Amino acid sequence: MPLTQQQTKELGKMINERRNVLLTELREDAARAREQPYAEHAGTAPDSGDESVATLIADLEQADLTRDLDEFRGLEAARERIK
């Protein structure tokens, strides 16, 4: 059963709201990643423990960005489908 016009309108509004929140998060995450380079997490004279923590932080930040980008792409695809 297809969506009614009202349901489609409400769904579009929800998608746009989430998209806008996600765009803000993506911009903030990207800015934070640029401002906090790997060397900052590892320290000036890193040992293997410092390096592993810095690598973990960088990997987590990358995973967060990837997840948000995937969600953003899904929202864009959903917007196209309900047009």
Q: Domain residues of the chain, as ranges?
A: 13-81
With left for phi above 0 and alpha for psi between -120 and 50, is residue 45 left, alpha or beta?
beta
pLDDT at 15: 98
Can you give the pLDDT of all 83 residues of the chain as single tens digits? Answer: 889 999 999 999 999 999 999 999 999 988 887 887 766 666 666 778 778 888 888 888 889 899 999 999 999 999 999 98
What pLDDT does residue 20 have?
97
Distance between CA atoms of residues 18 and 10, nearest Å:
12
- Give SS3 for 46: coil
